[in-house]
A and B are shown apart, each in its own frame.
Chain A
């Protein structure tokens, strides 16, 4: 075994993992106040998949995206990038920026286009910054412009584009350095359809799917919209910085029945699907019972513990005599429970 192999601490990750987040905490400190944005989040983005993250405002979605993209550093935890095969939280800003160029693309709600550049130049910009040779750059931009359907607007200034067109330019721009990475790229999208009407949003989502299928690039989409979530291969729900729901297939949560699949996180915590909780009247305590190989989870109200204790009698560990319920000393041998 070579030293390199010995040091390949992340070699046990499956090949299809693009980004893995392990037990990540993010605490923002503003003035005297500490805000926990993420609290022990673990998840993996798989190659060639569209993953959506849903959750209410302030739940930590954008923070999670930024941590995955290496823009924000996690306070605690590890973030693994497939291209580096390492934990990026320990890397310098310069190495991260260089590594991010052909690994991560960003699409924001505001599209983030430069107003003085035209469509072609906006798409090309990321490749120019990265130092991609001119010929390669041209080919990529031409290909992407076709893929996103903006051949007619290639010379139009960013300010003259419609909202949908801007999103397309932003998507193409995010992909310009990932297009040749044989699928190991990730596009992080923060509310990509937030500004768009449902019809345009639908078209953008279709575009995501098309690009995902044709290029094999993974997409990680932060959204409020169930419409977006329904197009994803995997949807996770996040609430107060904890992943509270996990759906293996693209689901429209509104159309689902009352059963969910949830996954234990690395801290053996079970996040509860928020919509179901709402339907159950947002209970704060549950009674969990293992019965015949099944867990039965019953929402509790009132003094749960007392009720449970009343029902149970004990056996003295010393003499085997039965101790009546509510008593703590064995009447036979005098031992305490």
Chain B
């Protein structure tokens, strides 16, 4: 028997799934864009925070390096020579370091201006009265064009700031002096001659052209006239001036000469190489090596380590080359403080966690809905010979494309939003210039990209889980368009209400039981986020039933629609509950973040007001106490009081004694109910006024020393003549006092707001009577005055006058610029405000996407229902109004519950956010409910959401009963 031949099987097209995925993506643009957008929101949120902090860090680092050409300079110590100081070796060591971008050795000496107007000189002394003798001397800086290019950011100039052979740059002051000495005008285009002095001499020593190594340099064309921007910069400090009498030996006028301001710059090619060597080794001034750290090299080792690394490098150079002085890095602490605050602000990611989780949740819902709606399609593909793997890879390709799209969108959103945080100047306001600055320096740290990619992968994973299940259960031969009917849900409302009440109680007691500070605050924010989801779910379910009941009970208003609405709202939980939860979450989050942000700002203002201490706080160099009278002479100032401060010690405890006029301080100071322990401010200060050696000590020291009101404390304290000792009677205990901050810094776990403003008395203080302190210490000057001003008067004019005329710093709540005085607080505040703004936008976007996806798909699935309505005689308008009523009912339910939940969660989250911040309030937190802003924002969001429900309702109305029912 011969075996019969088998037919060959078709192995299948491995690329079909890819092409089908692309077709499918094209065919469902709204749904796919919705999924990608929701994913993008999830990706964008953490990425935005990281991009903001990273860009901010880069910006401050950039600004720091942009500010000056050099950040360090190596100068030989006094008594050292060019060789003995090992300057050249130090230069090459610096160049070998990864932290240094370049190290420029710049020699300079003295030159004497020559020409037809001046026929030569026979003697010269650097400190002599040269000008009256017709000798115009100046510093001659010998350099290269590469160095000049780097210097350009430190100078302003006319003409050029680069040189060619036969050219020279001159300083403005040199031009002025030359005019004074020789009555000549030097400007761009003029030609000058000079004698370069190769060998130096001691300042007062006279030298001859030979001894000073006269080296004529002639016919130099002036191509630029420059002026240094900041004499305090590294360049300015590296070429210091001297002052000398030039004209009149008996006069008092001295000119500032021979510094960078009185200089000319020539190229080193202008003279022979050996002349440069001679100038370097023996010239009037020792050369300087200017160092510019490498921004990229430093960033490689982490932005947070820039300060430490540079400081370490500086120490290394100083230790290695004891003959050198390493100047610079005086402002590095500012840079460090900025960077640290930016890095600390990354914790703010946590406050957008609800939005992040919401977006991920919505991604699951939408992918689940999307796939379940395509069950019929899967079945059709299977019936046409598609293998499990082919169908599976189709969906996986789709998810990969959507994931990539979401990634790109998310990164783009971060690109747009991160600068918004950086440029934020308040709730819903930002500085466009700062925005552009941020966007032009935007930096995506690798960590942000990794987080973004990890979140992007969430979609394929979600598909992986859902698709494989769907393909498995999809039977071949199912209809490609499904119609699932669902029964009305018959559940009681009370279980949800009770659940909600329990969740809210748990939320409210959480910060009371566990103090939210540090990592505990992070944990509590996460728990609160979970509770937010639970509350939104329970609230949504309850509100859905409430709305259904309301709809059912208002038949007198709604007519026949009431039955449909009440029935419809009780079913389709698969679509409506996720939608309601998402809407509730978005609206609650918006409300919550508004309150959170507003409360933080209100607390900040409250702390600031307390830290300033009075209507007006005047700080100055030690000034006579009589200045108080001067202050009172200004219109608008009702009352003023000085304070005296001296150090004090009890045992090993050091603190300050603050002498105040108790009666005046009582009236002027802005006290809080929590300032003093067990008594109000008026009583405590009135007692202090009556007890000459009275003292108000901090609660902390009271407990530490076991002292209370009426006890005697023995204190050593500083006087003009040394240390003295006194017994003080405790008249009160305090926690804090206006104008001085927290009474003992041991009382708070972190930095107080006042310390950020610079108003906190270091370690702590005690209040005593001013007169007593004055008498005992003889300190009759004050650096701090408090003043009470007339309300409702514009004090800015008076403030300016006091500041300018009396050389003081005046602080008031109204004129205090938080951003200028405390970068850290400003950064944190703008972080919260920026994130609130972004969350609002993203929440609104997510709400709209959720409506488009869920209601769009609900309308699609329920077309037969609408077709039946139409077939039964319902007009298009009736169907639209019925469906719109149902959809809008859901949105209204979400709005109602979210306003309530938003306020409760806003309250708790405000407390938790303050716990997250690196600053500890001295006073109780101020909760601010920005009702107008909330009304505007929520109304806007609600109107947009409600309007967006009209579109699917209109689509429902346009159902063609003939075609739908035929295809049923």
Which B residues touch A98, using CB under 8 A?
9-12, 387
- Are B389's CB and A94's CB within 8 A? yes
- Are B13's CB and A110's CB within 8 A? no
A325 to B434, CA, bound (A): 119
**Quick one: which of A92-140 are within 8 Å of B by CB?**
93-95, 97-103, 106, 108, 110, 112-117, 125-126, 128-132
Which B residues touch A100, using CB under 8 A?
385
- Are B13's CB and A129's CB within 8 A? yes
**With contacts A112-B379, A129-B12 known, is A94 near B27, CB below 8 A?**
no
A49 close to B (CB within 8 Å): no
- Are B384's CB and A129's CB within 8 A? yes
- Are B387's CB and A94's CB within 8 A? yes
Which B residues touch A8, using CB under 8 A?
1, 3-4
- Are A83's CB and B7's CB within 8 A? yes
B380 in complex: contacting residue of A95, A113, A181, A184, CB < 8 Å: A113
**With contacts A84-B6, A99-B9, A101-B9 known, is A126 near B477, CB below 8 A?**
no
A177 close to B (CB within 8 Å): yes
**With contacts A112-B480, A114-B377, A115-B481 known, is A102 near B383, CB below 8 A?**
no
Q: Mark B77-91, 1 if CB is under 8 A from A, else 0.
A: 000000000000000
Which B residues touch A128, using CB under 8 A?
13, 16, 19
A11 to B475, CA, bound (A): 33
B428 close to A (CB within 8 Å): no
**With contacts A112-B480, A114-B377 known, is A130 near B7, CB below 8 A?**
no
Chain A residue nearest in CB terms to B2: A5
- Are A131's CB and B481's CB within 8 A? no
Q: Mark B1-31, 1 if CB is under 8 A from A, else 0.
A: 1111011011111101001000110011000
B479 close to A (CB within 8 Å): yes
Chain A residue nearest in CB terms to B26: A116
**With contacts A94-B389, A106-B476 known, is A85 near B12, CB below 8 A?**
no
Which A residues touch B469, using CB under 8 A?
none
A125 to B480, CA, bound (A): 15
Chain A interface residue bracket vs B: 35 or more
**Quick one: which of A160-198 are within 8 Å of B by CB?**
163, 173, 177, 181, 184, 190
B568 close to A (CB within 8 Å): no
- Report the minimal beta-carbon distance from A196 to chain B, rounded to whole angstroms: 12
A32 close to B (CB within 8 Å): no
Chain B residue nearest in CB terms to A103: B7
A278 close to B (CB within 8 Å): no
SS of B interface (majority): loop
Which A residues touch B381, using CB under 8 A?
114, 125, 129
- Are B480's CB and A110's CB within 8 A? yes
A152 close to B (CB within 8 Å): no
Chain A residue nearest in CB terms to B966: A163
Which A residues touch B475, using CB under 8 A?
71
Which A residues touch B27, using CB under 8 A?
116
A94 to B24, CA, bound (A): 24
- Are A129's CB and B390's CB within 8 A? yes
Which B residues touch A113, using CB under 8 A?
380, 480
A84 to B478, CA, bound (A): 27
B: number of interface residues (CB 8 Å): 40
**Quick one: which of B894-917 are within 8 Å of A by CB?**
none
Which A residues touch B931, using CB under 8 A?
none
A125 to B20, CA, bound (A): 9
**With contacts A106-B476, A128-B16 known, is A114 near B10, CB below 8 A?**
no
- Report the minimal beta-carbon distance from A2 to chain B, rounded to whole angstroms: 8
**With contacts A85-B6, A101-B12, A114-B380 known, is A130 near B385, CB below 8 A?**
yes
B383 in complex: contacting residue of A11, A82, A108, A132, CB < 8 Å: A108
Which A residues touch B16, using CB under 8 A?
128-129, 131
**With contacts A85-B6, A95-B9, A129-B16 known, is A190 near B966, CB below 8 A?**
no
Which B residues touch A33, using CB under 8 A?
none
A93 to B480, CA, bound (A): 23
Which A residues touch B464, using CB under 8 A?
none
B386 close to A (CB within 8 Å): yes
Which A residues touch B14, using CB under 8 A?
131
B333 close to A (CB within 8 Å): no
Which B residues touch A303, using CB under 8 A?
none
- Are B23's CB and A112's CB within 8 A? no
Which A residues touch B11, using CB under 8 A?
98, 131
- Are B4's CB and A85's CB within 8 A? yes
Which B residues touch A103, using CB under 8 A?
7
- Are B385's CB and A114's CB within 8 A? no
A236 to B481, CA, bound (A): 32
A108 in complex: contacting residue of B1, B24, B477, CB < 8 Å: B477
A35 close to B (CB within 8 Å): no
A89 to B486, CA, bound (A): 38
Q: Mark B777-802, 1 if CB is under 8 A from A, else 0.
A: 00000000000000000000000000
- Report the minimal beta-carbon distance from A82 to chain B, rounded to whole angstroms: 8
Which A residues touch B386, using CB under 8 A?
97, 129
A4 close to B (CB within 8 Å): yes
B634 close to A (CB within 8 Å): no
- Report the minimal beta-carbon distance from A178 to chain B, rounded to whole angstroms: 11
- Are A190's CB and B7's CB within 8 A? no
A254 close to B (CB within 8 Å): no
A258 close to B (CB within 8 Å): no
A125 in complex: contacting residue of B2, B9, B28, B384, CB < 8 Å: B384
A34 close to B (CB within 8 Å): no
Which B residues touch A4, using CB under 8 A?
3
Which B residues touch A108, using CB under 8 A?
383, 477
- Are A101's CB and B380's CB within 8 A? no
Chain A residue nearest in CB terms to B387: A97
**With contacts A102-B7, A102-B9 known, is A115 near B385, CB below 8 A?**
no
A177 in complex: contacting residue of B6, B385, B390, CB < 8 Å: B385
A130 in complex: contacting residue of B12, B476, B966, CB < 8 Å: B12
- Are B4's CB and A112's CB within 8 A? no
**With contacts A5-B2, A83-B6, A99-B9 known, is A173 near B479, CB below 8 A?**
no
B816 close to A (CB within 8 Å): no
- Are B480's CB and A101's CB within 8 A? no
B12 in complex: contacting residue of A114, A115, A131, CB < 8 Å: A131
- Are A126's CB and B7's CB within 8 A? no
A181 in complex: contacting residue of B4, B7, B384, B480, CB < 8 Å: B7
- Report the minimal beta-carbon distance from B1 to chain A, rounded to whole angstroms: 6
A5 in complex: contacting residue of B1, B379, B387, B477, CB < 8 Å: B1
- Are A173's CB and B3's CB within 8 A? no
A182 to B384, CA, bound (A): 20
- Report the minimal beta-carbon distance from A103 to chain B, rounded to whole angstroms: 7
A106 to B384, CA, bound (A): 7
Chain A residue nearest in CB terms to B377: A114
A4 to B480, CA, bound (A): 44
A128 to B22, CA, bound (A): 14
B647 close to A (CB within 8 Å): no
A321 to B966, CA, bound (A): 80
**Quick one: which of A61-88 are within 8 Å of B by CB?**
66, 71, 82-85
A177 to B475, CA, bound (A): 21
B301 close to A (CB within 8 Å): no
Interface residues of A, Cβ cutoff 8 Å to B: 1-2, 4-5, 8, 11, 15, 66, 71, 82-85, 93-95, 97-103, 106, 108, 110, 112-117, 125-126, 128-132, 159, 163, 173, 177, 181, 184, 190
Beyond A97-B386, A114-B380, A129-B381, list 17 extra A-B contacts (CB 8 Å).
Answer: A5-B3, A8-B3, A84-B7, A85-B3, A94-B388, A97-B385, A97-B387, A101-B10, A106-B383, A108-B383, A108-B477, A112-B376, A112-B384, A112-B478, A112-B480, A113-B480, A125-B384
Q: Which 6 A-B pairs have the closest CB atoms?
A: A131-B13, A126-B384, A83-B7, A116-B27, A130-B10, A101-B385
- 29 example contacts (A-B, Cβ-Cβ < 8 A) are as follows A5-B3, A11-B1, A15-B4, A83-B9, A98-B11, A101-B10, A102-B9, A102-B10, A103-B7, A106-B476, A112-B380, A112-B383, A112-B384, A112-B477, A114-B480, A115-B480, A116-B24, A117-B23, A125-B384, A126-B385, A129-B16, A129-B385, A129-B386, A129-B390, A130-B13, A130-B385, A131-B16, A181-B7, A184-B7
